[in-house]
Amino acid sequence: MGKATGFLEYKRIKPKKRSPEERIKDWNEIRLPRDPEVIKTQGARCMNCGVPFCHGGVLLKGMAAGCPLHNLIPEWNELIYRGQWEEAYKRLSRTSPFPEFTSRVCPAPCEGACTEGYIMESVTINSLEYEIIEKAFAEGWVKPRKSKATGKKIAIVGSGPSGLSAAYYLNAVGHEITVFERRDRVGGLMMYGIPNMKLEKRIVERRFALLKESRIQFVLNAEVGKDIPAQELVDQYDAVVLCGGATKPRGLDVEGKELKGIHFAVDFLTANTKSLLDSNLQDGNFISAKGKNVIIIGGGDTGTDCVATSIRHGCESVFQFEILPEPPAKRIEEHNPWPEWPKMLNVDYGQEEAISLYGKDPRNYLISTKKIVGNENGEVTEVHTVEISWVRDASGRMVPQEVQGSDKVWKADLVLLAMGFLGPEDMIANELKLDRDPRSNVKAEYEVFQTNVDKVFTAGDMRRGQSLIVWALQEGKLAAREVDKYLMGKSVIK
C-alpha cells in the first residue's frame, strides 16, 4: 500500500495531455510530463485493500478483470510513494517485459478491477507504470539481458508483442533466438498498426536496440510461408514459436464494397506510419484523408486511431459508425458488477480532437450500413445507413432489427473498415497442416501452447484471436516457459 489514508486525502488526477488544438498539428506523443509530487500522491492513493484484484488477470464474461501479467501493482505503488524508484522498476520488470508499451496502449483492465474503484475512482495504475519505466530508461536501469548459452536454437515468427515477449524470456535463459519479421521494421502492429501519437516509434526502436544488444537476431523483410518455407524453420531449429497475430481483417458484405476509396483501417494506418517514418509523409505512399469526408465503420480503438489520423491529414469531416448501443456514463452494477471490466462511455483522444475541431463526438451508435454508392468512375460518394434496435429472437438471442423510416445518406469520399480481425492468415498453418479451432486460430491449449506439430508452438493473437497487448505479452512469456521445458526438461521462467 502507499499512505494508509491516501485514498481519502488525494483525488485521482489523470495524466495531462497536450491540447487537441496543438497536438493535431503534428504526429508526436500527446502525453505531458507529470509533477513529481502529483506522481507521489497518486501512488499514495493505493489502499491496503487486503485482496488486490488489480493483478488478478482472470476472464469474466470474456473480458479481462485485472492485469493478465499479474503485475505487483500495490508493491510498486508504495515504492513510488516512498521515492524508491529503482526498486519500483525492479518489481515492475519482474512480471512485465515491456512496460513502455502497455503503459501507452493497454486499456488498463487493472484499473477496472481496482478495489478502490468499487467505491470511488480507481488508482491511476497505467500512468504510474508509465512514470516508472520512463524514469528507468532515463536513469539507465534498463539493460540488455544475457545468459550462459544452452546451445539450443529457436525461431520466432512475428515481432509483435507476443513474439518479442517470447524472444525476451527465451533469450534470458540462454537460448539462441532468431526472430523473423515480414516487414522492414520490428514491432508488428505496435510499429505499423498504432499511430505515432499514441505510441511513438522511437519507443519501439529503443527496445529493439536493447534486444539486439541482448544477442537476439532479427531477420526483416522475410515472410515465413512465402519467402522462407515454414518447414525449413522446423527442420533447422530446435523449436519454432508462431506469433504471427490475427491479421485477417473483417470485411463488409454490402452492395458497393468494391468501390475505390474503401480501405481496411489497418492498411490506412500501416501506410501512414510507414510513410511518416520513411519520409515524413513526403513520398505520398499513403492513403490521404486530406479534404475528404471520412466514414469509419467500427467504434473501437482502431476506429479512434483512424479518426485522429484523418484529422491530422486535414479531412473535411469524419464520422464513426457503431452497431452497438452507446455505453452508459457509469458502470451499471446490475449487469456489469465490479471487478468486471467497466462498460462505460469513454471519450478517447481521437474523439477529443474531433469534438474540439467539429464541435461534436464523431461516433454514431445503433447504425447499420445498408449499401455504398459511387460515381461513374467507380469512386465512393455515399454511404447509406439505417438505425437498428436490438431485440430477442425466438431462441432468446439478441439480434439487430431495422428501425422503419430511419434511412440516412452520408456523404463519403473515404470509407475505412475498422471492424476487427477474423483470425490468422493461412499460409503457415496450411503448409504445416496445423490444427485450427472453430474461429480459425491455430489450435494450442492455454499454458501449453504446443500445436499438433512436434517442435511448433504458438502464442498471442494467432492462438487466441484478436485481443489486448497485455494478453499477447503474457502468452509470449508463458509460451517461452513451455518451450524452455520442452528443450531443457524444466524452466525457471515463471
Find the DSSP H helices in 359-468.
427-432, 461-464
Domains in the chain, ordered, with CATH? 6-139 (1.10.1060.10), 153-248+422-488 (3.50.50.60), 251-419 (3.50.50.60)
Cα 327 to Cα 320, 332, 342, distances in angstroms: 15, 10, 10
> Cell numbers at residue 304, please?
479512434
Residues with Cβ within 8 Å of 120's Cβ and at least 6 positions away in sequence, in order, are 7, 12
- The one-character DSSP state at 76 is H
pLDDT tens-digit profile, the chain (494 residues): 668 899 999 999 999 999 999 999 999 999 999 999 999 999 999 988 888 999 999 999 989 999 999 999 999 999 999 999 999 999 999 999 999 999 999 999 999 999 999 989 999 999 999 999 999 999 999 999 988 999 999 999 999 999 999 999 999 999 999 999 999 999 999 999 999 999 999 999 999 999 999 999 999 999 999 999 999 999 999 999 999 999 999 999 999 999 999 999 999 999 999 999 999 999 999 999 999 999 999 989 999 999 999 999 999 999 999 999 999 999 999 999 999 999 999 999 999 999 999 999 999 999 999 999 999 999 999 999 999 999 999 998 999 999 999 999 999 999 999 999 999 999 999 999 999 999 999 999 999 999 999 999 999 999 999 999 999 999 999 999 999 999 999 999 98
- Say if strands 153-157 and 63-65 run parallel, antiparallel, or are unpaired: unpaired
User: Which residue carries 494450442 as its cell?
Assistant: 444
Residues with Cβ within 8 Å of 304's Cβ and at least 6 positions away in sequence, in order, are 320, 348, 349, 350, 351
- Say if strands 58-60 and 63-65 run parallel, antiparallel, or are unpaired: antiparallel
How high is the pLDDT of residue 4? 85
Identify the CA nearest to 268 among candidates 194, 377, 320.
Answer: 194
Residues with Cβ within 8 Å of 52's Cβ and at least 6 positions away in sequence, in order, are 73, 74, 115
> Cell numbers at residue 206, please?
529503443
How high is the pLDDT of residue 277? 98
Q: How far apart are CA 374 and CA 377, in angstroms?
A: 8
* Beta bridge partners of residue 383, listed in sequence order: 372, 410
Q: How far apart are CA 34 and CA 166, in angstroms?
A: 32
